Chain A
């Protein structure tokens, strides 16, 4: 396969400056990169792990929230008299309760709503809350509250919302301002093109639905508040709660040791948490809330639906001369953003690019970041377009992509990437998949048609650099690692412990991790945006190296040699010079006298003048049943440049998980609103909203780590993984479906019904 020069002749990358001095990434490793079962696996498989939903405190009450059943309504009157007098009911909050009269913010937009806003703008908006001595009694009380609503005209669809005279979700209308960004001259670019294609792609609103529904437990001790929260970031929740209650941060403790998945929907403080804390204060008792499954469909975020018009120009030699994306999306009833443009601007070399994006309000639940917000949508459009362009100019889709791999970020002044593993992802992925052979031999005729497809992706954010880790080495040679990060299921605790094991030579089973507690652990940014390993592992490594340095100094003094004569392996100090000695750490007197060595590590800044970002390419083989419209994914290969692979087991697991989520996005998941009728969500449950099961994931799955040995990104050589794993999946499947059937499915998800209709149309009109 030909590899192309990836620099453009007359665009000079910005001047590279040296990476900050400090630890260089490892060469050979002993622990990092191996298949290590998780250090908290025991707790997770035995049932011993305590999630927020499992917490029970003496005297604890249970809260439940009454939500607006209409997509748009004013609360006219409420009658609480019956509910108040029911057995076990301890407190009720509504918009009329003085303690609950609080503003609610959306991003940096200022107060746009209230904790209980009597103007309900979506089905699921908070109307009242109850605390009672059992969950059943709380639900009973909700049923006994009567609310008189003034139903208002509503709008459920993007196109409808944009029309003149559409019911406004907010004063000032539904359409936000158009955000435009442009480089080069697209008119010139299109004029230079040999082929220009234009297509409108649509993606549906996808819901996070983590397995543990959103949950909090709040307890007050005087003016101190403790909250157990199923969250991706305890410090974020702490900070916002402190602001809400006017408390010093030190008086708000947030604990999130185990949490049952978030995918972005648990990145921010939820109204339910504030409500629970208020109820706890009013009743002077601990209060717990667990949202119902239905509530997770209505009011704790989603991936917005998008309508993306993409126009692309290409020259016969495979040069992309212009890209123009017009995106309209809806983040629901409040500002949450629905932008998607990044990939169009940065994944492939192109001088002339214009992106215009508009967010539109509709009467539906507000979006929250969902695993690579905007990226799978954009990949759905761009990567199908790349496929179509390749076929028009008669170039293999892999070759075409290879021709356009960038070495620098075009959205950021052509600043070079530390590494661009995209080329290797494409070539290695194609090799392992058997791309050329499959392309040449696959059976595209008959009732069951097979096809293969490829799609690429990258993630556009390098993560936060604010993180501190503390490593404590006990006198017996075992260690404790203290980090603030939540382990949202990605194996964070294990990966961080592996870093400590690598540096200190302490076996994994002798390392204990304390995490995600604002009172007892050091600061870490929220676990999301593929930043957890990238932000925290360099700090952990520095903390461990500090301990190691101190330990070797002590040992050298005690053993009367120099530090250079010593090595640290398997929990023992070894002298490299004769006479060879091995001193187990617990026999080291200087350590015993001190009882503990403590190292503190702070994350270094990102390299200057370089951008560290992860890349991916995924390959799918599908089987389309032309009688039923069903698509079966028979084989899948994912190749990822996420820098150094920290743990083979959790790496694979996370990639397969990302693919599973991408399969859902591409083939089955969508929020269905009863537009024009009731405006309510008709599939707010897992029966009607289908997420992939064990039979829906490919039986043959391979994932490859394409490690470009990035020595500049940070001291562990890592780039993100969680988001890239799900970005190209749906597009790869769509391209394989096209290969099998000749049908370009522009609307995600590709349901059997949709495909069947398209196949029927094809039969009438002949193959495209």
Chain B
């Protein structure tokens, strides 16, 4: 699977726009298209008519045996088949990051990942960051810094922050801004999101 986000540049990372970021996404999209393209639908005909394929999906440490349509995205299966509604559909076309989950510890857009592609990988959703009923550290930092407004982008932001901190435990502000730039927030809570990531980086053991 392609690296989801552009690597932070050395020094000034602020100059990297979402456009660059999306360029790297594009590769992932192509890959997804190839995987799902079995028989090409003729004009106007339905793409698939519900042939189900068995799949074992490991989510938040639990193995789930499922039957899925090949065209179903990981986001759809998480939400509609496993009841994990934390990951949100913001655009379902790889533009917003509301659907972000960790796949093998790395943030990925689950709307651009077919469920079948996730076979054999470890998936972590925002629900998986909880310790029982207790919030995880990144979540706690988001609470303390008020790093959201409507909250619809928030599970994706939290997961991206988690992924960023796993890779870069002590990011600078520029790295945080860049690292979080694949997650849109229409409410514009960015300032507090950056503070929350800093805060989380301090409290994470």
Contacts and interface: CB of A to CB of B under 8 A. Distances in A.
Contacts of A43: 151
Contacts of B145: 649
Interface string A679-698: 00000011100111111010
A526 interface: no
B149 A490 contact: yes
B183 A146 contact: no
Contacts of B88: 51, 53, 211-212, 260
Max chain A CB contacts within 10 Å: which of B44, B92, B135, B188? B188
Contacts of A490: 149
Contact of B49 (A45, A46, A87): A87
Interface stretch (A428-436, A565-573, A584-592, A657-665): A657-665
A303 interface: no
Interface stretch (B30-38, B78-86, B115-123): B78-86
B164 to A, nearest CB: 11
A137 to B, nearest CB: 8
B151 A693 contact: no
B127 A47 contact: yes
B173 interface: yes
B177 A695 contact: yes
Nearest to B43: A143
B82 to A, nearest CB: 12
Contacts of A686: 91, 95-96, 184
B36 to A, nearest CB: 12
Interface in B37-67: 44-50
Contact of A697 (B22, B86, B96, B190): B190
A652 B193 CA distance: 12
A49 B49 CA distance: 33
A650 interface: yes
B153 interface: yes
Contact of B187 (A86, A137, A657, A694): A657
A260 B191 contact: no
Given A46-B130, A697-B188, A701-B191, A53 B146 contact: no
The dominant DSSP class at the B interface is: loop
Contacts of B98: 211
A38 B177 CA distance: 24
A140 B177 contact: no
Give the contact-size bracket for chain B: 35 or more
A141 B146 CA distance: 43
A260 B192 CA distance: 18
Contacts of A600: none
Interface in B132-185: 135, 139, 142-146, 148-155, 158, 173, 176-178, 180-185
Nearest to A47: B86
A144 B44 contact: yes
Interface string A563-607: 000000000000000000000000000000000000000000000
Contact of B18 (A260, A290, A649, A690): A690
B91 A693 contact: no
Contact of B151 (A49, A143, A292, A690): A49
A263 B152 CA distance: 14
Interface residues of A, number: 68
B43 to A, nearest CB: 9
A661 B146 contact: no
B188 to A, nearest CB: 3
Contacts of B182: 693
Given A489-B149, A489-B187, A652-B191, A293 B143 contact: no
Given A144-B44, A261-B149, A694-B177, A209 B186 contact: yes
A143 B44 contact: yes
A47 B99 CA distance: 12
A37 interface: yes
A136 interface: yes
Contact of A44 (B91, B144, B148): B148
A42 B126 CA distance: 12
A293 B187 contact: no
B85 A47 contact: yes
A490 B146 CA distance: 11
A259 interface: yes
B27 to A, nearest CB: 15
A146 B178 CA distance: 45
29 contacts: A37-B146, A45-B151, A47-B125, A47-B126, A87-B50, A141-B46, A143-B44, A210-B152, A211-B152, A211-B153, A212-B90, A258-B150, A261-B186, A263-B186, A489-B148, A489-B149, A489-B151, A632-B14, A649-B145, A652-B146, A652-B192, A658-B188, A686-B91, A692-B188, A692-B190, A693-B184, A694-B194, A699-B173, A699-B177
Interface of A: 37-38, 41-47, 49-51, 53-54, 56, 86-88, 135-137, 140-141, 143-144, 146, 208-213, 258-261, 263, 290, 292-293, 488-491, 632, 649-650, 652-654, 656-661, 685-687, 690-695, 697, 699, 701
The 7 closest A-B pairs by CB, nearest first: A47-B86, A660-B188, A260-B152, A489-B150, A44-B151, A489-B149, A657-B188
Given A45-B142, A290-B89, A695-B16, 20 more contacts: A38-B143, A41-B146, A45-B143, A46-B86, A211-B150, A211-B187, A212-B150, A259-B150, A293-B93, A293-B95, A490-B149, A656-B190, A686-B91, A686-B96, A691-B186, A693-B181, A693-B182, A695-B14, A699-B173, A701-B191
Interface of B: 14, 16-18, 22, 44-50, 69, 71-72, 76, 79-80, 83-93, 95-96, 98, 125-127, 130, 135, 139, 142-146, 148-155, 158, 173, 176-178, 180-194
